[in-house]
Amino acid sequence: MEGGAGLYNPRTVEEVFRDFKGRRAAIVKALTSDVGEFYQQCDPEKENLCLYGLPNEQWEVNLPAEEVPPELPEPALGINFARDGLSEKEWLSLVAIHSDTWLLSVSFYFGSRFAFDKADRKRLFDMINGVPTIFEVVTGNMKKQTKEKSSSANRNGNLSKSDSKVRSSDGKTLKAMQANTEEDGSEEEDDEEDEHGETLCGACGDGDGTGTDDFWICCDVCEVWFHGKCVKITPARAEHIKQYKCPACSNKRARP
């Protein structure tokens, strides 16, 4: 499997984490917005197949690597065989769990290969642990965690956000969020930010500090926040949506 191996060898904690985020974003895409195509590619009649997330945020379903041992740890083998024996939700959850395990193994493979010391390994784990798992995104189990972070961010002046709500005639509410670029140098507020963390996008895993004036939107089903650009929703389009469902919630209906 040529694409399963990294296109480069990240050597620092930051580079390994960037590699992790790229692969994670790819798999999240496969299991949410691209789930129809992913489902079709996992034909149980085919040989053992694996889901690969690549550092460039692209995913592919392919046969495992032929070389033994492989250049990188391999993802779960034969995900296609379980497709028709489970409900779609159960199957996607299973793939998500194995994908989370694979991402950790790849990251710490690089850590071992390039001799990360105890401090670097802990820093890498803390960075990874600050991002929702694929399982949490796919199943919506990050709801409670995200709500707690949103509440903390609202109390934190250094991460203040304004919530704009567009109400329709039937009373339904669409929540959109616009990042506020005002900064406060207060040490007390900086301490609060360190304690509570920042709101993370359910798609890319990035937080509030990734850019200025970012448009955010909240799923009305799982209540997870997303960058508008990550779910292809613009502020103008959001004004006309009565109830927004994220890609994961939109694809939760079991296939007949």
User: What pLDDT, on the 0 to 100 scale, is given for residue 13?
Assistant: 95
Residue from 4, 107, 19, 7 nearest 61 by CA = 4
Q: Which of the pair, 75 or 10, is modelled with greater confidence?
A: 75
**If you average pLDDT over residues 118-123, what whole number do you get?**
96
Q: What is the pLDDT of residue 227?
A: 86
Answer whether residue 46 shows pLDDT above 50.
Answer: yes
Tell whether the model's pLDDT for residue 222 goes beyond 90. no
Length of the chain: 256
137 vs 67, residue with greater confidence? 137
**Residue of 127 and 254 predicted with greater confidence:** 127
Q: Dig out the tokens for 105 from the structure.
A: 């193994």
142-149 long-range contacts, Cβ below 8 Å, gap at least 24? 142/202, 142/222, 142/224, 143/222, 143/223, 143/224, 146/199, 146/200, 146/202, 146/223, 146/224, 146/225, 147/223, 149/196, 149/197, 149/198, 149/199, 149/200
What are the residues whose beta carbons fall under 8 Å from the beta carbon of 176, sequence distance 6 or more? 163, 164, 165, 166, 215, 216, 217, 218, 228, 235, 238
- Return the top range by mean pLDDT from 2-11, 164-173, 198-207, 237-246: 237-246
**What does the pLDDT average to over 163-192?**
44
Sheet holding 173-179, edge to edge: 161-167, 173-179, 215-218, 225-227
- Give the pLDDT confidence score for residue 252 in this predicted structure: 63
Residue 148 is predicted with a pLDDT of 53
Q: In the structure encoding, which two tokens stand for residue 72, read together?
A: 């990188």
pLDDT at 5 over 50: no
Structure tokens at 124: 């890498």
pLDDT top residue among 70 and 142: 70
Mean pLDDT for 135-163 is 58
What Rg do the C-alpha atoms of the chain give, in angstroms? 19
Terminal CA-CA length for the chain: 32
Greatest alpha-carbon span in the chain: 62
Residue 228 pLDDT level (bands cut at 50, 70, 90):
confident
Check residues 74 and 152 and name the one with the higher pLDDT. Answer: 74
